C-alpha cells in the first residue's frame, strides 16, 4: 500500500522559514506575522489526486493536483508568482517542482511516524515544517 497523506495535520515546528520567505521577496511585515503562525494542513488523497489546504489565522492557501500532471499555480497570498508546477512520487515522498521565475523552487512532503514533514525549497534555501496528526 502506498502512503496515505489524508488527514488533518497540526503545526509542530518549522526551521529556516524566514530565509525561505526572503528568497521569495516577501515583505517584512508579512514575514513577521508568518513566522508566528501555526498553520494546519488538511490533505485529501484519492488515488493520485490530492488537495492540500493550508489554513492559518492570517492567510489560507489551497492547491489541487494529480500526480504527474502539470498545473498552473498562482501562489496567491504567498508571493503571488505564477508557476507551472508538477508533483511526482519519489518512493514514499511527493515532490513538487514549481517552474517559474525563481530557480530550484519546490517542496516535498513525507510522513515519519505520526508526523508530516514539509520541505520548502527556493534558490538554495530550505525550510522544514513538521506537523502532527490531529
Closest CA to 38 of 11, 15, 8, 59: 11
Binder of ligand VLZ out of 37, 67, 111, 130 (CB under 6 A): 37
Q: Contact region for ligand VLZ (CB under 6 A) — 2-10, 32-40, 64-72?
A: 32-40
Alpha-carbon distances of 113 from 50, 100, 132, rounded to whole Å: 20, 33, 9
39 binds ligand VLZ (CB under 6 A): yes
Q: Contact region for ligand VLZ (CB under 6 A) — 1-9, 33-41, 64-72?
A: 33-41
Min separation Cβ 27 and ligand VLZ, Å: 12
Q: How far apart are CA 50 and CA 57, in angstroms?
A: 23
Binder of ligand VLZ out of 107, 122, 125, 131 (CB under 6 A): 107
Alpha helix locations (H) across the chain? 17-23, 28-34
Amino acid at each position: 500500500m502506498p502512503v496515505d497523506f489524508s488527514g488533518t495535520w497540526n503545526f509542530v515546528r518549522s526551521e529556516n522559514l524566514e530565509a525561505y520567505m526572503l528568497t521569495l521577496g516577501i515583505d517584512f511585515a508579512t514575514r513577521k506575522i508568518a513566522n508566528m503562525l501555526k498553520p494546519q494542513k488538511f490533505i485529501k488523497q484519492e488515488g493520485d489526486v490530492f488537495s492540500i489546504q493550508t489554513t492559518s489565522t492570517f492567510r489560507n492557501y489551497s492547491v489541487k493536483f494529480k500526480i504527474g500532471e502539470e498545473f498552473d499555480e498562482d501562489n496567491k497570498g504567498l508571493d503571488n508568482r505564477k508557476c507551472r508546477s508538477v508533483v511526482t512520487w519519489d518512493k514514499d515522498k511527493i515532490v513538487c517542482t514549481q517552474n517559474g521565475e525563481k530557480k530550484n523552487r519546490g517542496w516535498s512532503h513525507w510522513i515519519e511516524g505520526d508526523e508530516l514533514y514539509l520541505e520548502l525549497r527556493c534558490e538554495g534555501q530550505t525550510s522544514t515544517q513538521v506537523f502532527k496528526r490531529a
